[in-house]
Structures are given as structure tokens and as C-alpha cells.
Amino acid sequence: MNRSNQYNCSLTGNLYPIRKMLLFKEMNNTLICDVNAKVTDKGLWCNPDRYDIEKAIKQKVFDKLLNKKLIIPSFFTESIERNLRVKILNFIGLSKKAGLLEIGYDKVLKGLKNNTIDIVLIDKEDVKLNSFILRKLDENNILFNKDFLKEEIGKTIGYKNVLCIALIKSKLSDTLKLYFYKLSKFKVS
């Protein structure tokens, strides 16, 4: 990645691609994390590592960097994770509307065989996943996620329960990969 696309993390000083970072701002003396931020927005760009963010909150680093005594809600980190999850689900709904979503095992398998998909989501509690899917995911460098329940996936795309979906390769799936990256770095293991 080009150095011009990288930015120093406000917390650690390390270089990260700016599109993979989270933006923190002050609004009415309250610290907020803008998960919808564009790379041109101003504020504190930080790597999405939950440990670094929680450490910075404890040590009042955001207060020092923004030169203000900030209010940070007790549920702050949980709200960041929730907002990232909502953003991902919204993008999945958009993918369906754009005709860029394969729904169900058969369609996902077909997409894997034809190498037309970028991202596969499978119900968090599903145990039916076969070795073919796992092998194809690894071979084709496809993002695999098992963080959402079938009810969450289904509700997002207008069904009751959905066990398996895949996003067809597109700019939308590229953007969605960035949010999956942020969520994977931020969520509690």
C-alpha cells in the first residue's frame, strides 16, 4: 500500500492504512467514535485495536490529545462494536438490493466454484459447514465470518433465518471487507 494512504495512529504513532482506522471526535464535550467517517474527516484517527482504545480511555489520552476534559460513557467500547456490526449488516442489506448477494449453501457453493464471491457469512451457531467450503475459502483468499446469528443475517435481507450468504466481488464487497477488518480487530475474542 502506498505510504500516502497511511496515517499515524494518534494513540500508538504506528502507521496504518487510514481506511482501516477509526475516527474519534469530541462533540459537546463527549468522546464519540464515527464509524461512518470519510478519510477526509478531521479528528483523531486510531487503529481499531480495542486494547489500545481502552488503555487510552483509562489513561485519559483522548483528554490530552483533544485538550479537553471529555465525558466517555461507560458503554463506549460496546457501542463502537455494536455500531460496526450495524454498519456491516446495513452493507449486507445494500448488497441484496444491488443484486450482489448469494443466499443459501447451494448458491454460495456455486459462487465458490465459479470464483465470483469475496465474502462468506455463515450463522454463528452452524456446525454443518463442510471441508469443501473451508478449503475453497482458503484457496481463493475469501473473507470468512461467523460472527452473526442466522436471525441477524435473515432480518437484514428480509428473511426469517439465513444460515449462509456470500457477497459477489464488487466495490461494495471491498468496502465491506474494511468494516469486517475493523470489527475483527475491535471485538472481544
Stretches where the chain sits below pLDDT 50 are 1
Q: Which residue has the cell 433465518?
A: 161
The number of residues in the chain equals 189
The CA distance from 120 to 134, in Å, is: 10
Write the pLDDT tens digit of every residue in 74-109: 999 999 999 999 999 999 999 999 999 999 888 988
pLDDT at position 32 is 95
pTM equals 0.88
Residues of the chain with CATH 3.30.1330.30: 84-186
CATH H-level, domain 3-72: superfamily:
YlxR-like (3.30.1230.10)
Residues 157 and 103 sit within 8 Å (Cβ to Cβ):
yes
pLDDT at position 128 is 67
What is the SS3 assignment for 123?
Answer: coil
Class of the CATH domain delimited by 84-186: alpha beta
pLDDT at position 161 is 84
pLDDT at position 62 is 96
Q: Residue 152 gets which letter from DSSP?
A: H
